[in-house]
Amino acid sequence: MFANVATSTISAVSQPSAAGGTQRTTRPITTGTSVLGIKYKDGVMLAADTLCSYGSMAKYKDARRLVSVNPSTLIGGGGEFSDFQSITDTLRQNALEDRCTADSLYDEESAQASAKETWSYLRAIMYNRRNKMNPLWNDLVIAGFHESSGTKVPFLGMVDKIGTAFEDDMIATGFGSYLALPILREKWRADLEEGEARALLEDCLRVLFYRDCRALNRVQIAKATEDGVLVSEPYEIDSSWDSKSMVGAKGGLEGDGGW
């Protein structure tokens, strides 16, 4: 549905310009905004809205930016949507190749990359493209599980468009790093139940809808537990515009100041 949303920067590497040079994408065009992620008692949860903006126009309202790339890994992306599509296609192709070249087609767990391995792979990809002065214009959040000392451990990490990578208990990209991260830091606990984690992320998405003009109140939630990953269908969160500062007369004018 979104295959032709924008010309992918991946395909622009070797396209000669009219002047005979090589084209580079200098700024993203069709973009998604914040992605949020937190660890909770049973695993990791991600949240994002479904809006893709074409410049300043809210153009695509069903752009799903939370994706399962294998049975233990979720990825969420902000920034250029066509680049995000190319990244997820590459990860799914890698997952298929891993399964097909495994010692046994029935041993799925040993054939799939863990969330931490996927994060490390994407860090190398993003840094490589940055060094070629042709970055993939995305901020990526990777969530899932990986094995440590024989036990499954929840993982949450981020990679940006120049290859900067880190892990944390809570992550927010885009405007969320300014508006949502303070809320997460104040209210997050390591022993959050699933319902509490979901409510916290919805509160943050609601604030972003109020304050970020590239955000929407149609959202998705995704979770990764030891049993696997699950991405919800899009749904709308409640919002209220009854604040006195929003419904009162502006500048002492009668009505809303319109013609």
CB-based contacts of 70, cutoff 8 Å, min separation 6: 91, 95, 112, 113, 118
Instruction: Please report the DSSP string for 225-252 in residue order.
Output: ETTEEEEPPPEEPP-----HHHHSPSTT
Taking Cα atoms as reference points, which of 8, 14, 27 lies closest to residue 132?
A: 14
* Helices assigned H by DSSP within the chain: 81-100, 108-111, 115-131, 176-179, 181-187, 194-211, 244-247
CA 9, CA 141: separation in Å to the nearest integer?
20
**Crossing angle (nearest 10°) for helices 115-131 and 81-100:** 130
CA 232, CA 39: separation in Å to the nearest integer?
17
Asked about 9 being catalytic, the answer comes back as no
CA 214, CA 34: separation in Å to the nearest integer?
9
CA atoms within 13 A on the CB side of 4: 0
Catalytic residue among 7, 9, 22, 25: 25
CA 87, CA 168: separation in Å to the nearest integer?
22
Tokens of 160: 């940006």
Question: Which residues are the active-site residues?
Answer: 25
